[in-house]
A and B are shown apart, each in its own frame.
Chain A
């Protein structure tokens, strides 16, 4: 009996280790590869720092943006996207959780079904939409830093990313609002506060863990996005390039792709995200999708 009690956790750890072994091996290889000229299995043939030289000199000459500029772009794009996702989906989630209106259930299922639209096929029409947005003064391409919300701007790419992130955001946010009891809000309404005030001053502070979790998730997907930034910005060398698009430079420019450099750039993109994730995991854990736990 005692032996069985002791064996059980061991068995659980064993399952965990075996299932994760492929990931461990793979990323170990990736790390070793980025510091060596060639590898045989996990054994490097020669250690080198050459693969990481993109950090201090632009590998394609001065006319290309440096990796730090590209990193700033990626950061701006992910942050813009995260802020819009959180604001828009918390507004929608609040309405879906707390308000009665015609078509509430259908809107909720519609948001989920929206996810069925493959981004690939919507790409061509979205291109036309963005070109149209570009023609609008100021919003189109007159905003500093972001460039605007039209075609080939950081803001435009962020906006398209927001649209694809919304189904997820709305569902998660609705779950969080469901978990808050009705009483506080009811009291505020009786005291004559408007719905908007209730949402901003009473509900939002109460779902801070939800906001944190959704922000982290959106930020990660923004940081990693490839297809959408690649399609809606011109050129991998342009001023609007983000990291995953910039990575593409290393793969087609030279005659032979230097895979070790690709591994290094990939790790460069990965490291801040891992640190970020380790620091924020506690918040991520509260992303619970809600359900039947609303107050009274």
Chain B
């Protein structure tokens, strides 16, 4: 900032007054916050205030029956009962294992794995074919979720109706043509979510690959590298930042997503077979077998989920050395 003042001194004959200098300094200090303020307002309105409310609600037993009667903001009504209820729940280990399995498998095989494979393939083949296949893989993401799930149920259907049974498993002579969704619910939970999830990473990775300067690729070709070597030593290192972003972002997306599972199996077909954490939070908070919705209890489930998500994010940022990836802006050091 000081240096900028000097440059201007050189241009205009009289030195800037003290007032002007203070103004510059003040502008320099305040400008970042002026730029951040719209985002800050939205974040405070729709993340922080709701989060504090959820946090408080999680200590109360607010539900449909005592809404408007219970003073949930009064600390006298707060207790840790909901949390005790979660950790002593008979199905707590089952739900935890389900969540880890769901996030881990979908992330590894589809959201990162398949996404990377697709990005690499579609950027190394004929451009038109690459475009077409990317569009194809984007279809699951842009189809209304209700219709998308309906499609998968038709795919999993028993023999005369089901597509997988009559066109893939049948000709191969596998299985007896039963309703596959009841037989292998987990396979479908992961496929259904994975086919949606893969496109996100695919777009990010393939655009990152496309943005690599062509000279790098040509240089490695000139040096006699095979396609695989070019991918391994030129393209993958550049993908580090997108990989950090996609892994972290998609882990959190998967942890908190439940709509597809809700419409597909609703946690079944056997008791709690495919019930994941976010779905439990939704079930407790907004639906209930007994006709009343336990907002307080559901809020407690989701607070624990937020804690898990934040811990995961922090671990990722450490593993990928986030601090080193973020460069200091040098614009002010003229």
Measured CB to CB, the residues of A under 8 A from B are 8-9, 12-13, 15-16, 19-27, 29-30, 33, 39-42, 87-89, 91-92, 94-95, 97-101, 104-105, 107-109, 111-122, 124-126, 128-129, 133, 159-160, 162-164, 166-168, 170-171, 175, 178, 182, 185-186, 189-190, 192, 194-196, 199, 213, 217, 220, 223-224, 226-227, 243-244, 247-248, 251, 259, 262-263, 265-267, 269-270, 273-274, 277-278, 281, 284-292, 294, 296
Q: Nearest-CB distance from A101 to chain B (Å)?
A: 4
Number of A-B contacts (CB under 8 A): 316
Taking a contact as CB atoms under 8 Å apart, the answer to whether B36 and A92 are in contact is yes
Partner of B331, one of A21, A99, A267: A99
What residues of A have a CB within 8 angstroms of the CB of B255 in the complex? 116, 118
Does B310 contact A26, Cβ atoms closer than 8 Å? no
Q: Which residue of A lies closest to B138 (CB)?
A: A277
Cβ distance B66 to chain A, nearest Cβ, rounded Å: 15
In this complex, what residue of A is CB-closest to B258? A120
- B207, CB-defined interface residue at 8 Å: yes
* B223 at the binding interface (Cβ < 8 Å): no
Return the contact of A285 from the options B7, B142, B207 (Cβ within 8 A).
B207
Contact of B45 among A129, A273, A284 (CB under 8 A): A129
Chain B residue numbers with a CB within 8 Å of A114 are 43, 47
- Neighbour of A269 across the interface among B144, B162, B248, B329, CB < 8 A: B144
Supply 13 A–B pairs (Cβ within 8 Å), ascending by A: A13-B129, A19-B118, A23-B136, A95-B36, A163-B43, A170-B39, A194-B31, A213-B207, A224-B144, A244-B144, A251-B146, A270-B139, A291-B240
Are the CB atoms of B49 and A273 closer together than 8 Å? no
Residues 7-45 of chain B, each 1 if its beta carbon lies under 8 Å from chain A, else 0: 110000000000000000001010111111011001101
Comparing B100-108, B266-274, B297-305, the segment that makes contact with chain A is B297-305
Task: Give A164 to B249 CA distance when docked, in angstroms.
Answer: 12
- Interface residues, chain B, with chain A CB atoms under 8 Å away: 4, 7-8, 27, 29, 31-36, 38-39, 42-43, 45-47, 49-51, 53-54, 57, 114, 117-118, 121-122, 124-125, 129, 131, 133-148, 150-152, 154-155, 160-164, 166-168, 191, 195, 203-204, 206-208, 210-211, 227, 240-242, 245, 248-249, 252-253, 255-256, 258-259, 278, 281-282, 285-286, 295, 298-299, 301-303, 305-306, 309-310, 312-314, 317, 322-323, 325-332, 334
For the complex, give the distance between the alpha carbons of A87 and B41 in Å.
14
Q: Given A22-B195, A274-B139, is A113 in contact with B45 using a C-beta cutoff of 8 Å? A: no
Residues B38 and A88 in contact, CB atoms below 8 Å apart: yes
Interface pair B241/A263, CB less than 8 Å apart? no
On chain A, the residues within 8 Å of B278 by CB distance are 118, 120
